[in-house]
Amino acid sequence: MTKNKTLYTLPHLIMRRLILIATLAIILVAPAIRDTDEGFAKRYDRPTMGGTYVQVIEAAASTYNLPASLIAAIIKVESGFDPRAMSSRGAIGLMQLGFSTRKAMRVSNPFDPVQNILAGAKYFRSLLDRFEGDVEMAVAAYNAGPEAVERSGGVPPYSQTRQYVPKVMGYYTQYESGVAID
């Protein structure tokens, strides 16, 4: 009686190797994402307990050519750095992604800080491009929607948006100067 040998094809071996590499990458990279360096935590006004989002914010900033301090300012105002934040209108996570934004950015888990921050940054980049680099208009559009900003020719006359824009810009300025916010 002969033993039945399993022959591994080249694609099968490559797939096994990729799975091994991905597993190792997760094991090695996960601690970096949860960096607890107190200097970074103070810079972005987050508690060090439970990990920080500095690497994710900086990766998103680098990927979408945005200031990390601006992404951090949006997160501060949107969710107070709470990855489980939910609004009454269905916006979810750190950057409070609405349903249509989650769908457009192909976010499968809006509570995942990495997916949420990357999608929020990508969406903000598109707004910044749409408003030709005008940060205040892009911030207003992030809150009220780009159509509302275009209709009003500036920050829409909504009280929430009129309060939101200066808050984000204030945190942005403070984070940019390195001042920690208590």
**Per-residue confidence at 178, pLDDT binned at 50, 70, 90?**
confident
Write out pLDDT tens, residues 112-121.
Answer: 999 999 999 9
Q: What is the pLDDT of residue 180?
A: 61
**Per-residue confidence at 167, pLDDT binned at 50, 70, 90?**
very high
Fold of 53-176: Lysozyme (1.10.530)
Torsion of CA 144, 149, 154, 155, to 10 degrees: -10
DSSP state of 8: P
Q: Is the pTM of this model over 0.85?
A: no
Write out pLDDT tens, residues 123-163.
Answer: 999 999 999 999 999 999 999 999 999 999 999 999 999 99
Write out pLDDT tens, residues 2-37.
Answer: 555 455 566 666 766 666 666 665 555 555 444 443
The string of DSSP letters for 106-163 reads T-S-TTSHHHHHHHHHHHHHHHHHHTTT-HHHHHHHHHH-HHHHHHHTSS-S-HHHHH
Specify the higher pLDDT residue, 22 or 65: 65
Enumerate the active-site residues. Answer: 78
Give residue limits of the domains in the chain: 53-176
**Per-residue confidence at 95, pLDDT binned at 50, 70, 90?**
very high
